[in-house]
Amino acid sequence: MNIGVVTFPGSLDDGDARRAVTLAGGEPVALWHGDHDLAGVDAVILPGGFSYGDYLRAGAIARFAPVMEQVIDAAKGGMPVLGICNGFQILCESHLLPGALIRNDHRTFVCRDQVLRVENTETAWTRDFSAGQQITIPLKNGEGGYVASPETIRELEESGRVVFRYVDVNPNGSVNDIAGVTNERGNVVGLMPHPEHAVEDLCGPGTDGLGLFTSVLQRVLA
């Protein structure tokens, strides 16, 4: 099972994302922002970091990278795509996911182990979780406030497309404590916290993040 991980100029967590894929039992494939094809991968991860220095808006320039044309086409065709942190921002800028991420309401960078509730276990990336399961994974962002129009928020809530919700504390001012969302088809998921930093007991708050990477392997096998 080949899972592509795109590296943009300024990506930080591409290495950890590839390692998470390996630990989950998949085969990571390094993709480059300038690539014009996806090397035959079965799924794609857009990792965290500060692509293009977050110039203009976080994710705004990366969205027009050559490789994104293929990623957007593949996502529309049903390929599983996961965006983590900056990857989530890129998916929103690409309009593959609704809404946008703005600067944290308290205006400071946040870095903490964050409890999340998994609210949708039907997506390509969350099948290995149980509904309502609480997981703890690192969160680190300066622009993680999820916003969307009231109509969009209502639609997301009514159709169960809020995948992850912050528990105990809202760390960045996100509407309705939303930490992650999915598209209508459930193949594209974006979240601000970092599951790839919680895949080994040695470092990070545990292995709760592994479930996202094992889920997609099931999906690809099925």
Partner 1 sequence: MARVIVDVMPKPEILDPQGKAVHGALPRLGFTAVTDVRQGKRFELEVPHVDDESLAEVHRIAETLLSNPVIEDFTVRVDA
Q: Is 100 in the site for partner 1 (CB under 8 A)?
A: yes
Q: Is 23 in the site for partner 1 (CB under 8 A)?
A: no
Q: Is 33 a catalytic residue?
A: no
- Exposure class string for 37-54: b at 16+ Cβ within 10 A, else e: ebeebbbbbbbbbbbbeb
Q: Report the residue number, 50 or 213, with the smaller CB distance to partner 1.
A: 50
The neighbour count for residue 159, using CB atoms within 10 Å, is 11
Q: Which of 26, 145, 171, 180 binds partner 1 (CB under 8 A)?
A: 145
Q: Is 147 in the site for partner 1 (CB under 8 A)?
A: yes
Q: Is 196 a catalytic residue?
A: yes
Residue 166 vs residues 19, 62, 111, 117, 138: alpha-carbon distances, Å? 25, 27, 14, 7, 12
Length of the chain: 222
Residue 22 vs residues 27, 49, 79, 91, 220: alpha-carbon distances, Å? 6, 20, 19, 24, 15
Q: Is 72 in the site for partner 1 (CB under 8 A)?
A: no
Q: How far is the CB of 170 from partner 1 (least distance, A)?
A: 13
Q: Report the residue number, 173 or 206, with the smaller CB distance to partner 1.
A: 173
Q: 162 to 221, contacts with partner 1 by CB under 8 A?
A: 173
Q: Is 106 a catalytic residue?
A: no
Residues recognised as catalytic: 85, 194, 196
